[in-house]
Amino acid sequence: MASSASLPTSFSKEAQPRVEPAAGPSNVVPTTRPPLEVHPTAHLDPQAYIQGTSTITLGPNVVIHPRARLVSVHGPLTIRAGTVILERCVVGGPVPDPKEPLPPPPEAPVNTVVGQNVLLQASAEVRAGAFLDEACLIEPRAVIRRGVHIGKHTKVCAGCVVDRSVRDWTVLWGDGQTRRLRTGAIDPEDGRLKALEIDRESTAGLLTVAAAKATLGKRRA
């Protein structure tokens, strides 16, 4: 099993201090719902699927949409501030077989980190052990493989399967091997991030209201 040490050395220095080690309590009683550390400003939708044994940490202003799937079977999951994870995304996969009981926590857990202000669009998949640096944009059905480091402000276009690390400010498209560097994109990128923030706040509000109404309705029923 690859640990976080398999990340490129230049990044592991930065990455390691922020990643919390595998949480202790989950080792004692393996429940279906893993220990959660959710920041009060984060929105974890009640309809999101959560599965695993290690800790899942959600930073401030994180929005997890309904039907997104967070899996901490292979190791702890850290999702940093301002990240948005849309429907049917899988973070920390592959998803364990639902017919079988959850495996015990792995001996060498791998850290999965999704950095700040990342946007995972619908059905994107981030495998366990991947590291997404800040302000990445992962488009629908793209797959980030285990142990891959995605640099800052990188865009992975729809359907790309990324199996090797990518430097900052890169765009991947086509078969995942066609790439370019974004050289003059600082100003538009600022604009994009601002728009993302506005969008995130409004959807978070909507989802909170919707979730509250749903629970209220359930209680009445």
Partner 1 sequence: MGLTFPYTYISCPCSDGSKEIEESRLRPAPLFHKKALAEEPEEDDEEKEEAPFDAHHPRASFSLFPPEHLLYCEECRDLKCPRCSIEEQVSHFCTSCLFETPASAVRSEGNRCARNCFNCPICFSQLSVNNINGAGKEGPWILNCYYCMWTSLDIGIRFDRPTNIRAQLDRIANGGKPKAPSKPTETPDLARRSSYLNHESYPQLSATTNNPPPTQQDDSPKETPLDPAARFTALKAFYKNQLTTTTAANPTHPSISSDFSYSSPASLNRILNLYSTSGSFQPKRKPKPQLMREALYPSEGLLIPSPDAATSTQTKLLSSPTGGFINTTTLSQRHFQTGPAGGNPDARFVDELRPMPAPLTTKRAKRCKECRHILVKPEAKPTSTRHRIKLVALSYIPHVSLRPLLGTSAAGGGASTSSAPSALLYGGDVILEPARPTQWILKLTNPLFDAVRVSIATPAVTPGKYGHRVTILCPQFEIGANSDVWEEALGSKSSDAGGSAGKISGSGNGGVAEAGKVYEKGRNWTSVAVEVVPVSITQPIVEAADKEEIQVREVDEDEDVLEIPIRVRLDWRQGDLDDGANKKARLNEDGVEDGVRELAYWMVLGVGRVKK
Binding site for partner 1 (CB under 8 A): 155, 157, 171, 173, 179-185, 187-188, 190-192, 194-195
Q: How far is the CB of 186 from partner 1 (least distance, A)?
A: 8
Three-class SS of 36-84:
EEECCCCEECCCCEEEECCCEEECCCCEECCCCEEEECCCCEEECCCCE
Cβ nearer to partner 1, comparing 74 with 153: 153
Cβ nearer to partner 1, comparing 146 with 155: 155
189 contacts 183 by C-beta, under 8 angstroms: no
Cβ nearer to partner 1, comparing 77 with 172: 172
Q: How far is the CB of 114 from partner 1 (least distance, A)?
A: 20
Copy the structure tokens of residue 159. Answer: 């359907």
| CA–CA distance, 219 with 214 (Å, rounded to integer) | 9
Cβ nearer to partner 1, comparing 45 with 134: 134
Q: How far is the CB of 144 from partner 1 (least distance, A)?
A: 18
Q: How far is the CB of 141 from partner 1 (least distance, A)?
A: 15
Beta carbons within 8 Å of 142's beta carbon, 6+ residues apart: 124, 125, 156, 157, 158, 159, 160, 161, 162
Q: How far is the CB of 185 from partner 1 (least distance, A)?
A: 6
Q: How far is the CB of 24 from partner 1 (least distance, A)?
A: 42
Closest CA to 163 of 179, 178, 149: 149
Cβ nearer to partner 1, comparing 32 with 177: 177
The string over 157-178, giving b where at least 16 C-beta atoms fall within 10 Å of a residue's C-beta and e elsewhere, is: bebbbbeebbeebbbbbeebee
Cβ nearer to partner 1, comparing 36 with 157: 157
